[in-house]
Structure 1
């Protein structure tokens, strides 16, 4: 009786909010708010070109198509898992030819057969149903994986797009720096030819120019690399055929992060992890119910005749029906091992779910905190660009008047380039962080 009762257990009713760590009532990086997260985050950037690229990627990307195929496969696997709950009927037509070389002479005979087999396991305890439920939950989790892949692809396209735009702007800044330093190099060479400056100054200027040209080459290499990476995401041949020249936009101002608890019911990867936990519960239930008796109905019938036309004669039909019960008594520990195996998998899935949920909270908190810090950094670097530009102009004038050394002049050019480059970089980081935040919140594209 204890053995039978142990197999009658059902999967527990899981609560997605039941976590082993405390979830706050609001995000620590923002004040408490109760507004829902805005949908269609792509529209908030107000960039038609980006919208077109993301739409192309979502329809053409090969990895996303592969994920869609996995969803279809998982759904069919659920159909296969549930097929055992229905009767199985087979038709077996055939023909047999035989020859007997006996003492009285060779005899040949042939016969046509038309047989039917019927088999049905009555799922009294719900063992097959539990296996079907596990496959269904797994299919739903795979569908959530597909949604997560869509969001991830859209975010990746947007981030690479802005990295590509930044690289083009970095190349423009580096190109302007090379032109400015070429002017200085020409000025110093002219002064050197007139004996007004030392050879060391000329060599320092030429070295600085060569370094600027190397930075320009690196910037152009980043442009072609990111352009090809973007084309690959769009399932296009990476021929660097994308051409676009525009400034980096400002990040959208308004942002609603919602409540932390909402993340558990909105993020696709968290939903997928929870459904895989429920699938593990159902597999454990199915393994436990394998200890219970199995009741089956079987039937076989058909007819056989040497003449094909006589197969439909009712008098030639023979059939049999049987009902049976199979109770496992000794399986060498296989059934108990499967139960313990699935118990371990349940614990694995439970911890995986909690890990995914915790990481989701971290990503949101991290992106929210970075938002304000990056804005402060962008403001400071904008001021640095203005100051270095003014100091560079003053350094040129001071050098022409003989008030400063060549190293000070060259340093002013490097400071201007570095400030401009850092400012562009943080502008792009602001955009990427906003995209990361939308992705972390699980907002729809």
Structure 2
């Protein structure tokens, strides 16, 4: 046995018999503040100082229909149900590991019957019986070096990790339902825009057709108007299918049929009443995200496994004991003089294992290093997600405002060209071009408003919003 292992053993006995390394949370491999620059708004703390991850989702979602839909999803979503069942499995496994830390107690009653043959009984054979009853402690390992304790600790951390994974799954589900609901509202608005555009272009087409039939214009204006009608009709079909797909996505997330009254009823602007969020929170909040906490729990479990691997180098002591009575006559089983007991201490000292113990220790250390890297990657990924969301938030208002101005300008241009065409001052081509520009601007404006609403949901999610 090396001097290092002897030193570890002595240290463990003096410090609570635990050979696992003292756990220290790795330093976060990110800067202590969010990125700064043209894409980001100045940081500002909320007046009440309430952290985003302390803000329950019911406080964040302001629309009552969306709130009811999220409650339906939390009750029926199958992915979330699997996460909950994983918690139950991990809790049971922890219970098994924890039970190994206390001795068991078994009760036993037995009868042994044996027939002695004639040739061994010097005459007529006979049947001998032996009865016994007692209480016994099966082989119980005395945990001098923390092996059983660290196995239990590893199971506990894995159990707590599944709890954090369930929290992360729930926050993700809340954001997915909200974003799917907002997407449905946006596509419903796009469908209404396409339907309105189709009606408008059919009127222009009928006018162009009458003028052509009257010989007032060439067929060019009529065919140009027809292209606009067919484009709008195609868009109506596309968005009709997309709305149906959005509803199917909501049904999957909800895990049940979604009542019609819980679907968006108005325009995108009227259903995105989501609470504002502060941007000025320190990056330390990332360490409280459920997925980051889950990665840290895995790291702590691997840290405990090092203690298990180290304990394999040292002796293990197990005790087996029993007490009760034994008699060849059942009636005398519990009488004086029938008592019996056994006490079997066993010491096992590893001498040669072909390098197995050292390999297991090396493996445990490597798994711990892998868990450190995974924890650091979780922090870095979380920082990137928040930074992206903050960059989107810092620029989205300008994007929405510019698109609104573009819609207004395109509408005025279209109205002028349409009036000039009605008066016969110009061909339909200019009106057609301006109409297509207006239509595209309106569609992009819907996308920009959807991006703004979705950004609020995404920011809530990536900051580790409350899951209660």
Query: Common fold, TM-score beyond 0.5?
Result: yes
Equivalent-residue separation in structure 2 for 1:101 and 1:195 (angstroms): 127
Match 2:301 to one of 279, 284, 288 = 279
Unpaired runs of 5+ residues, structure 1, are none
1:259 positional shift: 3.2
Asked if 2 retains the 8 angstrom alpha-carbon contact of 1:67 and 1:146, the reply is yes
Are 2:107 and 1:91 aligned? yes
Equivalent-residue separation in structure 2 for 1:42 and 1:431 (angstroms): 17
> Which residue in 2 is equivalent to 1:187?
207
> Which residue in 1 is equivalent to 2:136?
117
Match 2:217 to one of 197, 202, 205 = 197
Residues 1:414 and 1:95: Cα distance change in structure 2 (over 3 Å): farther
Equivalent-residue separation in structure 1 for 2:105 and 2:336 (angstroms): 20
> Which residue in 2 is equivalent to 1:349?
371
Normalised by the size of structure 2, how large is the TM-score? Answer: 0.87
Asked if 1 retains the 8 angstrom alpha-carbon contact of 2:225 and 2:432, the reply is yes
Residues 1:238 and 1:108: Cα distance change in structure 2 (over 3 Å): farther
Are 2:83 and 1:67 aligned? yes
> Which residue in 2 is equivalent to 1:326?
348
Match 2:6 to one of 4, 11, 15 = 4
Equivalent position SS for 1:170 = helix
Equivalent position SS for 1:88 = coil
Q: How many residues align?
A: 443
RMSD: 2.5
Are 2:382 and 1:372 aligned? no
Asked if 1 retains the 8 angstrom alpha-carbon contact of 2:151 and 2:305, the reply is yes
Residues 1:397 and 1:258: Cα distance change in structure 2 (over 3 Å): closer
1:44 positional shift: 4.1
Residues 1:52 and 1:239: Cα distance change in structure 2 (over 3 Å): closer
1:268 positional shift: 0.9
Equivalent position SS for 1:285 = helix
Equivalent-residue separation in structure 1 for 2:280 and 2:326 (angstroms): 73
1:292 positional shift: 1.1
Moved more, 231-240 or 320-329: 231-240
Are 2:443 and 1:433 aligned? no
1:110 positional shift: 5.0
Q: 1:85-105: CA deviations, max 9, x gaps?
A: 211222333445554554455
> Which residue in 2 is equivalent to 1:31?
42
Equivalent-residue separation in structure 2 for 1:83 and 1:342 (angstroms): 23
Residues 1:415 and 1:94: Cα distance change in structure 2 (over 3 Å): farther
1:209 positional shift: 1.4
Residues 1:51 and 1:238: Cα distance change in structure 2 (over 3 Å): closer
> Which residue in 1 is equivalent to 2:16?
none
Moved more, 301-310 or 162-171: 301-310
Equivalent-residue separation in structure 1 for 2:91 and 2:374 (angstroms): 23
Equivalent position SS for 1:85 = coil
Equivalent-residue separation in structure 1 for 2:71 and 2:58 (angstroms): 10
Equivalent position SS for 1:315 = coil
Matches within 5 A, 1:286-435: 286-305=308-327, 308-435=330-457
Residues 1:186 and 1:313: Cα distance change in structure 2 (over 3 Å): farther
Equivalent-residue separation in structure 1 for 2:235 and 2:226 (angstroms): 14
1:159 positional shift: 0.6
Residues 1:96 and 1:182: Cα distance change in structure 2 (over 3 Å): farther
Unpaired runs of 5+ residues, structure 2, are 13-18
> Which residue in 2 is equivalent to 1:256?
278
Equivalent-residue separation in structure 1 for 2:172 and 2:43 (angstroms): 28
Residues 1:45 and 1:391: Cα distance change in structure 2 (over 3 Å): farther
Asked if 2 retains the 8 angstrom alpha-carbon contact of 1:251 and 1:434, the reply is no
Match 1:132 to one of 121, 146, 152 = 152
Match 1:176 to one of 174, 196, 204 = 196
1:432 positional shift: 0.7
Normalised by the size of structure 1, how large is the TM-score? Answer: 0.91
Equivalent-residue separation in structure 2 for 1:64 and 1:355 (angstroms): 24
Residues 1:121 and 1:338: Cα distance change in structure 2 (over 3 Å): same
Moved more, 393-402 or 92-101: 92-101
Equivalent-residue separation in structure 2 for 1:271 and 1:365 (angstroms): 19
Q: 1:160-199: CA deviations, max 9, x gaps?
A: 0101111111111111011111111111221222222333
Equivalent-residue separation in structure 1 for 2:328 and 2:280 (angstroms): 78
Asked if 1 retains the 8 angstrom alpha-carbon contact of 2:396 and 2:452, the reply is yes
Equivalent position SS for 1:190 = helix
Moved more, 107-116 or 119-128: 107-116
